[in-house]
Amino acid sequence: MTTINVGFIGLGLMGHAMADNIQNKGFRLGVLAHRNRQPVDDLVAKGAREFSNATELTRAVDVLMLCLPGTPEVSQALAGDTGLLAGLRPGQIVIDCSTGDPNRTAEIAALVVAHGGYYLDAPVNRTPKDAQAGRLNVLVGGDADVLEKVRPILACFSETIHHLGPLGSGHKAKVIHNFISQGNATILAEAFCTAAKNGIDLAAFAEICSMSGGNSRTFERIIPYVLRGDDSGQQFALSNCEKDMRYYTELTKSTQTTGIVSDAVYQTFMLAKALGHGDKYVPRLFDVLGEINGVSVRAKPAESNA
């Protein structure tokens, strides 16, 4: 077991899998208490130490990792008398694996630096299943020398680690990538809704797409919902997609690049939330488009054998 102590805040589906791999690879792990006891209890049973607040956790570890829904949650974890910053020691490294708002990355980093720490924005690509298998892609922004110090920790749960450039590059690359992925999901949902509305055999249409330009990693992850009602391929909430697309559209505005398509994609996820689907996984976007257009975007039982 390594003598490096790693603290982890944010034990959702992705964070729990990442923390589990860190612990399994021999790092000493400290975790923050949470109302969702299952991931905390699982890691504690394997030897992790639980702390009641972020200050106590920070004082007990060498490296802090955050895997939270977005920048507001990161800000909350940092702030206050029991926050991360209250316990930060000079030289400690904070690795933010959250999908953060690129327009606020410098602000978050400055808070850490002001307390003598180092900050890396290091969001991840792929799914919780990939996290459990240790096959995530890590997108890092920040000082290359700091990255090298923590590379062995990141390697615990990743297949590849990419240094994208200076501070903020990781968050920027992440939301740009998510625009591609979530935009693809929106196009697929709209297209299959139109196919259903026109009476096209959805299983046959899916087979055609799988053999041609309609195929993609996103297609492979979400189309099983149309065919078999299986939404496990993309375990990411539609409300998180709305947040990511908001971050991306704001990035286009701050860099004065066109965001014509992204505005439409953002509004689609915003509508999904407004209709009460925010806590559902991405494949359920087919239901959202179906609800709007008065059609079921699901293959009929006979079609699913095609």
- Asked if residues 140 and 163 have their Cβ atoms less than 8 Å apart, the reply is yes
81-86-91 Cα angle (round to 5): 175
Q: What is the pLDDT of residues 60-92, one digit of tens each?
A: 999 999 999 999 999 999 999 999 999 999 999
Q: What is the pLDDT of residues 22-44, one digit of tens each?
A: 999 999 999 998 888 999 999 99
The CATH superfamily label for domain 172-305 reads N-(1-d-carboxylethyl)-l-norvaline Dehydrogenase; domain 2 (1.10.1040.10)
Higher pLDDT, 98 or 1: 98
pLDDT for 34: 84
Annotation says 174 is catalytic: yes
Catalytic residue among 174, 243, 253, 300: 174
Buried b (16+ CB within 10 A) or exposed e, 280-302: bbbbbbbbbbbbeeebebbbeee
What does the domain layout of the chain look like in residue ranges? 5-166, 172-305
Average pLDDT over residues 253-257: 95
pLDDT for 3: 80
- Asked if residues 161 and 144 have their Cβ atoms less than 8 Å apart, the reply is no
Q: What is the pLDDT of residues 136-194, one digit of tens each?
A: 999 999 999 999 999 999 999 999 999 999 999 999 999 999 999 999 999 999 999 99
CATH class of 5-166: alpha beta
Q: Which two tokens stand for residue 171?
A: 């968050």
pLDDT for 305: 46
Asked whether residue 226 carries a pLDDT value surpassing 70, the answer given is: yes
